[in-house]
Chains A and B, each alone.
Chain A
Amino acid sequence: MSPRATGATALRVFSQLRRDPRTIVLLLLVPVVLMALLKGLFVDNPSLFDRIGVPLLGLFPFIAMFLVTSITMLRERTSGTLERLMAMPLAKLDLLVGYGLAFAGFAAVQAVLVSLVAFGLLDLHAAGPRWLVVVLAVLNAILGMALGLFCSAFARTEFQAVQFMPAVVLPQILLCGLIVPRDQMAQVLELLSYALPLTYAYDALQRVSEDILNARLALDVAIVLAVTLAALALGAVTLRRQTP
């Protein structure tokens, strides 16, 4: 692995994003608009807005980066550029970390913007520190990136890649506790929710929103990091130097 090749990859991915202003605007504006929508939805119940708004703020980057990465990596596979890179003196880690840096940077911008609007204009309240919400959002973005990277190996077309979003992301959002507390679900679903990484991502955000900064929060973060690393390792396995 070399810092030069990793940095070059991060810059390249960033230039590709920059070349597509419409996607950038969508990525930055959609979460802000959804947050405003949520505010209107719970206009008579501000405490419910806080309960849902804070975790959602931290989960937006997960969803966005999952989609962006699975499509970008699929393009890399189908356009032959991955084959070219794999024939070059580029370590797989250079590619993965390069992607991670570029998308984490972008996710940070996204998370800061949404939190500025939500906390500043929409009167969202978090009992815990706001910066921690942003940090968790960036970690979740990297988790989304790692899972998207792995899933892209199972798609042959962009159509298929887009379908992974409802297949992989939506069940996790339903089961993570955001909509119904997990102890009120059918028991089999509650057990299943323990196996899904977004459960821990949500739990951490929820704890920050209530200012419960305890060991359990640290464990949540550790699990999110561990799953991210595992997904990156699995993703690295799907980047083949040699193909049939």
Chain B
Amino acid sequence: MAVEPAVVIERLRVVRGGRPALEDLSTAVRAGVVTGLLGPSGSGKSTLIRSIVGVQVIDSGSVRVYGLDAGSPALRSRIGYMTQAPSVYVDLTVEENLRYFARILDQPPARVGEVVEAVGLGAEHDRVVDRLSGGQRARVSLAAALIGKPQLLVLDEPTVGLDPLLRRDLWQMFHDLAAQGTTLLVSSHVMDEAGNCDELILLREGRLLATGTPDDLRRRTDADDLGESFLRLIEERP
């Protein structure tokens, strides 16, 4: 495709807590599709996501989003970010949380109702977040990321611990958003989810293991199952 990638990463190195979390990482995120960021826990997924959103101090290399350095003020209204732990106010209701973020992002009040419905929390809209289950809290956090109608949506493990039906609905929504032109980067440590993505970026121990479409990876490793592909890719490496 001739479309410019939404995110371009070159030779990125990040040190966290005294040890390298990402090392010599170069890759790109295609615009307008759902890209899965997969790897075991501790492989550097969250660090990469934080680097793209621009909240991570990086040691060397570059991360550019829509041609601007990650973290540029102009990008703040164009990126929706869902952190791994639900980052919402537990002492406010679902609606109070979202109304606050909507005001910051200059969205009309009606937008709150739309995102509440989109994440399936219609029945919980006036409950205090404290009283919600872990999966429901994660969806409040997801709704907060959606609220500004961002061009790039970066989601750190959005489907962890969710009911399978709900997970299917969310993946459907991710693809609907991509069809409308949104770029999505979705991380997961569960290989089952890789098949739901248009493109994949596989990480292991802070390094890039492979990129490509799910079919590419299956073909390249001669495996039917993406979990098996992942194993073979690791074994190919010295």
Interface residues of A (CB under 8 A from B): 4-5, 7-9, 11-12, 15-16, 19-20, 79-81, 83-90, 94, 241-244
Contact = CB atoms under 8 A, between A and B. Distances in A.
Given A4-B103, A79-B88, A88-B77, 11 more contacts: A5-B103, A12-B100, A15-B92, A16-B89, A16-B91, A84-B83, A87-B81, A89-B104, A241-B71, A242-B54, A242-B57
B116 interface: no
A80 B83 contact: yes
Contacts of B101: 88
B144 interface: yes
Contact of B92 (A7, A16, A88): A16
Contacts of A94: 104
A89 B73 contact: yes
B73 A243 contact: no
A79 B79 contact: no
A215 to B, nearest CB: 43
Given A89-B73, A242-B56, A243-B56, A84 B144 contact: yes
A19 B55 contact: no
Contacts of A89: 73, 76-77, 104-105
B85 A80 contact: yes
Nearest to B74: A89
Given A12-B89, A19-B128, A80-B83, A87 B53 contact: yes
Interface residues of B, number: 32
Contacts of B77: 88-89
B60 interface: no
B91 A19 contact: yes
Contact of B89 (A7, A81, A88, A242): A81
B104 A81 contact: no
26 contacts: A5-B104, A7-B103, A8-B103, A16-B92, A19-B128, A79-B87, A79-B88, A79-B89, A81-B87, A81-B88, A81-B89, A83-B87, A84-B81, A84-B87, A85-B104, A87-B54, A87-B55, A87-B76, A87-B81, A88-B105, A89-B73, A89-B77, A89-B105, A241-B54, A242-B56, A244-B56
Nearest to A242: B57
A23 to B, nearest CB: 10
Given A4-B106, A88-B105, A83 B89 contact: no
A14 to B, nearest CB: 11
Q: Nearest 6 pairs between A and B by C-beta?
A: A80-B87, A8-B103, A89-B76, A12-B100, A84-B87, A89-B77
Given A5-B103, A5-B104, A84-B87, A242 B92 contact: no
Given A5-B103, A20-B91, A81-B87, A15 B57 contact: no
Interface string B48-85: 00000111110000000000000101001101010101
B88 A90 contact: no
B16 interface: yes
Contacts of B15: 244
Interface in B3-59: 15-16, 53-57
B193 interface: no
A190 to B, nearest CB: 44
A242 B71 contact: yes
Contacts of A80: 83, 85-87
Given A84-B81, A243-B56, A244-B16, A12 B92 contact: yes
B55 A243 contact: yes
Nearest to B101: A88
B89 to A, nearest CB: 6
B90 interface: yes
A59 B57 CA distance: 40
